[in-house]
Amino acid sequence: MSAEKPGPRTAADEADASAPASPRTPMSLRERKKQLTYQAVSDAAISLFLERGFDKVSVAEIAAAADISKPTLFRYFPAKEDLALHRFADHEDESARVVAGRADDESPLDALRRHYLDGLARRDPVTGLCDVPQVLAFHRLLYGTPSLVARLYAYQSRAEAALARALGDRVTDRLAAGQIIAVLRILSLENWQRISEGRSADQVYGDAVEAAEQGFVQLRSGLEG
């Protein structure tokens, strides 16, 4: 699941910028330094992955490029795949935050629909509707590497759990969260596939909005009917 300007960091920066603002406890200096290290190591890794392919880059090479030791790298990133995907962690609770921060008179589905349509309009990379070259390169790396796709499902599973908690964490809420996250994943993958075939984000936008509306109609009829 989950953009910017030049360089591989673009995909991450735009994705981070797209996350809805929410009040959080200010980070300490130690936390800020840790976050900067995460960013620097991941940037170095993604640059190498894009240049040579995920499977052809060793963890040792990434550690050397980031000027840290392998043991230090593994303290930040338990698995090689996390070097490419850790930025999705910022989006794990995005749907949950949208639900928790919605207006009193807005239903969870209405809030999520509004948020997703806004993401399409902004060409948020998380929606798959982004044709920035660096974002496309990152998505090709992601969807073209089976181990990354498999790891991405773990992030999506945590997103599902977070949304379920925001909805109330009853069995019905967990069922709803599973369906919602699945719809968002499929919609975004469809957008990416269309763009990967050579269409621009502007060309895909109308179809993407229509598909999103249909997806939320299905969710509403299934979850609220």
Q: Which pLDDT does position 223 carry in this prediction?
A: 52
In this predicted model, what pLDDT tens digit does every residue of 38-92 receive, in sequence order? 888 988 999 999 999 999 999 999 999 999 999 999 999 999 999 988 777 778 8
d(CA 65, CA 46): 11
Q: Which residues of 116-145 are buried (b: 16+ CB within 10 A; e: fewer)?
A: bbebbebbbbbbbbbbbebbbbbbebbbeb
Q: Which tens digits make up the pLDDT trace of 114-158?
A: 999 999 999 999 999 999 998 999 999 998 999 999 888 888 899
Helix axes 133-143, 146-167, angle to 10 degrees: 100
In which band, very low, low, confident or very high, does the pLDDT at 21 lie, cut at 50, 70 and 90?
very low
pLDDT of residue 106 exceeding 70: yes
Confidence bin at 25 (pLDDT 50/70/90): low
Q: Give the span between the Cα atoms of 68 and 61, in whole angstroms.
A: 10
**Is residue 162 over pLDDT 90?**
yes
What's the pLDDT score for residue 10? 37
pLDDT tens digit sequence for 165-184: 999 999 999 999 999 999 99
In this prediction, residue 224 has a pLDDT band, given cuts at 50, 70 and 90, of: low
Percent of the chain with pLDDT over 70: 86
- pLDDT confidence band for 19 (50 / 70 / 90): very low
- Write the DSSP assignment of the chain as a string of letters: ----SSSTHHHHHHHHHHSPP---PPPPHHHHHHHHHHHHHHHHHHHHHHHH-GGG--HHHHHHHHTS-HHHHHHH-SSHHHHHHGGGGGGTTHHHHHHHTS-TTS-HHHHHHHHHHHHHHTT-GGGT----HHHHHHHHHHHT-HHHHHHHHHHHHHHHHHHHHHHT-SHHHHHHHHHHHHHHHHHHHHHHHHHHTT--HHHHHHHHHHHHHHHHHHHHHHH--
Mean pLDDT, rounded, of the chain: 86
